[in-house]
Structure 1
Amino acid sequence: MTAVVSAFRRGEWRTSLDTVALPGPWESGHGLALVPEIVAHADRRWWDDTGRHSPFAATTLAPGSRRELLLFALDLFEHGTVTVGGLGPQGAGDFHMALWQTAGVPRPLARRWTGMLREGLSRRKAPRPDDALALVSLPGNTFTCLDSVLDQAERSAGVWVRPSRREPLSAARLVASMLTAGWPPDRIGLYPTEQRTLHGLVRLTDRQVVYGGAGLAASALDSETLTLHGPGRGCAVVPAGMPAKEAADWLLPLIAADSGRFCSNVHTVACADAPDGSRQDPEPLATALAAALDALHPQPGFHQELVAFREFGAVDMIQGAVRDRLRPGDRILTRRPAVVLGPASEVYARPQLALLDGHFGDGTAATHPLVGHEVPFPFAAVLSASPEAVRAITAASLFVHRPAK
């Protein structure tokens, strides 16, 4: 590793004896310094004794000033050159290239997601600050979740940011941008850790926002002050009588936008029975939607909005998890190869669509292993569903999409 992203603790960028290599080809040369739990315990004591009492912070973070500083930080994040510990001065182009090399996020998506951060901050009502030390533990699928860092920075006395080990560069750049904008260094931290240390960070902080998958949601994270953003299980309900082409056009962006990386992306499409009880044949819609998905990203590359997989074997494991969940009679209708190499030997997962066999009645849809199954690429399972099955699917989903009437 030639460039190791530092932690930011007690107002300074700091190295560590514990490091981990970031995903990506060996020539990317990026690593990440990890903060042991015992160090985090010492930092909490420092926070109670010193950090929260900074007179500079009290002046700088006066009422009304936080939003202005954060908007300036987002300007720097998007366009500026900031100093990231371990990496040195980093321009916007440097950030985009490093993000591409390590996490496979192409420049168009990075720019779009930065715009979403700005939009989210600008439209949100500024909260009333309190005296809490907050923790934000981030996912690796998209850096739009940095919105929670911005939110907690506005409402908390201090924020510890735990970046994903798969994609820590965006969090490090945001912290560096906040510091360059004038954010008090005692009031922000970057705490990369092992997964097992997350529970310790939850206990050490006063308020927590944690992003994670099904395994984390089912774990023993038990805190009244914790907000857990688990699987979204995004779904769409197609009413009977909606033309297949019209439904496919409506569903395509819901499934494929942002490379299928958002928890709000649709992964289950329920074709609802008609009000008279007659069943809707899902195959015409599934066929039209599969053709539309096949037409996306014919030749994946850096210029397109499709995330490349950098972790060895990740695509095969994810694709295998889809295949293993197919039941007898289920069919994959997309025809293009599921895995493809890009022009620089990067690996992509192309969009896929599965048509589930049979009609799903009371409670049976929720038991199919592909219903609600989330993967980090555009994928959806289409099925025929009774009103009871539709209710079961939507009840388990945080993001339910229905066509406008």
Structure 2
Amino acid sequence: MTVVKADGPVYLDALGPNGPYRTRVPSSVTDVSGTEVARLSLVPPVYVDRALAVLRKAEAVPTAGMDTLLEAAAEEFATGTIGGLGVREYEHLVSRTSGSPLTVVRTATRDTARFVSLARASADRGRPRGAARDSGDPALGSGHAVWARRGEVFAVNASGNHPGVHRLWLEALTLGYRVAVRPSRREPFTPHRLVGALHRAGVREDQLVLLPTDRQAAGALIRGADRAVVYGGDDLVARYAHDARVLPQGPGRTKILVTADTEWREYLDTIVDSVADEGGTACVNATAVLVEGDPAPLAEAVADRLSRLPGLPPQDTRAVLPVCPLDRARALDSYLQKVAAGTRAWLGGDGIVDDLGDGSAVLRPAVHQVDHAGAPQLRAELPFPCVWIAPWNRSDGIAPLRETLVLSFLSRDHALLDTLLAEPTIANVYAGDRPTHWMAPGVPHDSYLSDFLMRSKAVVGFE
């Protein structure tokens, strides 16, 4: 892996199957103020095609000693100097380019390292109990099932909103896939560091590659892989909805439901944390709260809490809100004002742009109350703490709660809980005092990734 530090920007090379690759005219990576901080080598479609061909011929990472390898990679990622960047330098760059508060990035470093070390065990949690790991299981002699890959090469078209998006593809590597990662041009440092850490720990260059590309080459990457995960908005989800090889990761539209038998004031800390933790940028941050009864008192309380959050540059250790270029902040503010027309603004009605004076701006929180549970605003998801608070009653049913990545359920109604668990479009239900952004190795994010990558194949072995 090569990251060359200079007086100016650092250089981030592509990490191909034959080693680092640097283009003559790399792409500029800028921080939130518009200052160039890195130069990223973008590879053309022909390079992508050749890299995938090499990956397809390579052996899988051996299962023997994999946990030791992963532990070594986790330690490298969390503490090592990789390609000339120490962990503090890496975290500073991620904070300045993504606009995520530095404390969020530092927490993500520790959490990602934990997910790396437990990736094999986490992937195995998704294996059906009736399926053996491989053909060496003696139970296969009398007829059994074995867990088998649906392909050989897995591609990742990553987003740059949070470092944690790179925890998912680790499981594919432990399941025997060879993996090609396309980093976000907004924040390429995390995948560059993670791939480098895995290489240093023993994963071969023809088993795992980092392929920065433009959009044209990204299409070649997805077409050339056996399985792929892509991140984006509703347009992207619709584009790949009927492609069985592609797992689209779209908006989370995470919600909280508070029923009348629950005193929401006891859970106010958790509600606010669900909205604003991680800077409010993750798909697991709550963007809608539905309240059985009058939503105004809860909206007022949430707005009061969020209004106190300071507006600071992302690299300040006291920062808790996201930062972006000033022109993008103004565009987001304009969009919010249009979407929020007709709602009651408890916070953010007079704007969410906090100009830092260096070409960047803090995105301040917004809290709006809507008239009914079917209001279209509940589908609006923005990259900062922005929450829509709506009334809900039993006659609304679960329709307003559908298409939700995480639903926090603050209620004692067990029959309603069972109904929500049975709803196919609600991916996760957290009952009780747990924030919507809670995650742990081995617990599915949007089902187990192995549901998409693996299948159970009937096998009768030698007697």
Moved more, 368-377 or 98-107: 98-107
The CA distance in 2 between the partners of 1:240 and 1:228, in whole Å, is 36
The CA distance in 1 between the partners of 2:111 and 2:69, in whole Å, is 18
Counterpart in 2 of 1:330? 344
Counterpart in 2 of 1:253? 273
1:245-271 per-position Cα deviation (integer Å, ceiling 9, x unaligned): 334333111111111121111101111
The CA distance in 1 between the partners of 2:216 and 2:173, in whole Å, is 25
Structure 2 vs 1, CA of residues 137 and 71 (structure 1 numbering), >3 Å: closer, same or farther?
A: farther
Q: Tell me whether 1:19 sits opposite 2:33 in the alignment.
A: no
State whether residues 258 and 305 of structure 1, in contact with CA within 8 Å, keep that contact through their aligned partners in structure 2: no
Counterpart in 1 of 2:173? 153
Aligned residue among 157, 162, 166 for 1:142: 162
State whether residues 352 and 365 of structure 2, in contact with CA within 8 Å, keep that contact through their aligned partners in structure 1: yes
State whether residues 109 and 305 of structure 1, in contact with CA within 8 Å, keep that contact through their aligned partners in structure 2: no
Counterpart in 1 of 2:295? 282
The CA distance in 1 between the partners of 2:349 and 2:342, in whole Å, is 19
Counterpart in 1 of 2:74? 74
Counterpart in 2 of 1:393? 400
Counterpart in 2 of 1:33? 41
Aligned residue among 289, 295, 317 for 2:308: 295
The CA distance in 2 between the partners of 1:292 and 1:312, in whole Å, is 25
The CA distance in 1 between the partners of 2:34 and 2:295, in whole Å, is 45
Unpaired segments ≥5 residues, structure 2: 1-7, 128-132, 134-147, 413-463
Aligned residue among 5, 9, 13 for 2:12: 5
Q: Tell me whether 1:113 sits opposite 2:111 in the alignment.
A: no
The CA distance in 2 between the partners of 1:102 and 1:298, in whole Å, is 17
> 1:118-133 residue pairs with structure 2 within 5 A?
118-121=113-116, 122=118, 124-126=122-124, 130=149, 132-133=152-153
Aligned residue among 188, 205, 210 for 2:208: 188
State whether residues 248 and 292 of structure 1, in contact with CA within 8 Å, keep that contact through their aligned partners in structure 2: no
1:348-400 per-position Cα deviation (integer Å, ceiling 9, x unaligned): 111110111x344xxxx1xx332121111111001112335351221121211
Structure 2 vs 1, CA of residues 248 and 37 (structure 1 numbering), >3 Å: closer, same or farther?
A: same
The CA distance in 1 between the partners of 2:108 and 2:204, in whole Å, is 26
Counterpart in 1 of 2:427? none
Q: Which amino acid aligns with 2:43?
A: V
Structure 2 vs 1, CA of residues 335 and 297 (structure 1 numbering), >3 Å: closer, same or farther?
A: farther
> 1:235-246 residue pairs with structure 2 within 5 A?
235-243=255-263, 245-246=265-266
Aligned residue among 367, 374, 386 for 1:353: 367
Structure 2 vs 1, CA of residues 308 and 237 (structure 1 numbering), >3 Å: closer, same or farther?
A: closer
Counterpart in 1 of 2:376? 369
| SS across alignment from 1:313 | helix
Moved more, 200-209 or 98-107: 98-107
State whether residues 148 and 209 of structure 1, in contact with CA within 8 Å, keep that contact through their aligned partners in structure 2: no
The CA distance in 2 between the partners of 1:168 and 1:214, in whole Å, is 23
Structure 2 vs 1, CA of residues 208 and 313 (structure 1 numbering), >3 Å: closer, same or farther?
A: same
The CA distance in 1 between the partners of 2:350 and 2:34, in whole Å, is 29
Counterpart in 1 of 2:144? none
Counterpart in 2 of 1:98? 93
Structure 2 vs 1, CA of residues 312 and 41 (structure 1 numbering), >3 Å: closer, same or farther?
A: farther
Q: CA RMSD in A?
A: 2.6
Q: 1:198: how far off?
A: 2.7
The CA distance in 2 between the partners of 1:198 and 1:388, in whole Å, is 46
Aligned residue among 48, 54, 58 for 1:52: 58
State whether residues 82 and 90 of structure 1, in contact with CA within 8 Å, keep that contact through their aligned partners in structure 2: yes
Structure 2 vs 1, CA of residues 5 and 201 (structure 1 numbering), >3 Å: closer, same or farther?
A: same
State whether residues 334 and 353 of structure 1, in contact with CA within 8 Å, keep that contact through their aligned partners in structure 2: yes
The CA distance in 2 between the partners of 1:307 and 1:36, in whole Å, is 36
The CA distance in 2 between the partners of 1:134 and 1:42, in whole Å, is 15
Structure 2 vs 1, CA of residues 2 and 311 (structure 1 numbering), >3 Å: closer, same or farther?
A: same
Number of residues of Structure 1 aligned to a counterpart in Structure 2: 378
Q: Which structure carries more relative contact order (alpha carbon 8 Å, separation 6+)? A: 2
State whether residues 244 and 288 of structure 1, in contact with CA within 8 Å, keep that contact through their aligned partners in structure 2: no
| SS across alignment from 1:237 | strand
Q: 1:312: how far off?
A: 5.0
- TM (norm. structure 1) is 0.85
State whether residues 293 and 334 of structure 1, in contact with CA within 8 Å, keep that contact through their aligned partners in structure 2: no
The CA distance in 2 between the partners of 1:343 and 1:79, in whole Å, is 34
Aligned residue among 177, 184, 193 for 1:173: 193
1:134-193 per-position Cα deviation (integer Å, ceiling 9, x unaligned): 111211111111112211111134110111111111000111111111221111111111
Structure 2 vs 1, CA of residues 165 and 255 (structure 1 numbering), >3 Å: closer, same or farther?
A: same
Q: Which amino acid aligns with 2:105?
A: A
1:178-215 per-position Cα deviation (integer Å, ceiling 9, x unaligned): 11112211111111112343332111011212222222
Q: Which amino acid aligns with 2:381?
A: E
| SS across alignment from 1:90 | coil
The CA distance in 2 between the partners of 1:23 and 1:390, in whole Å, is 46
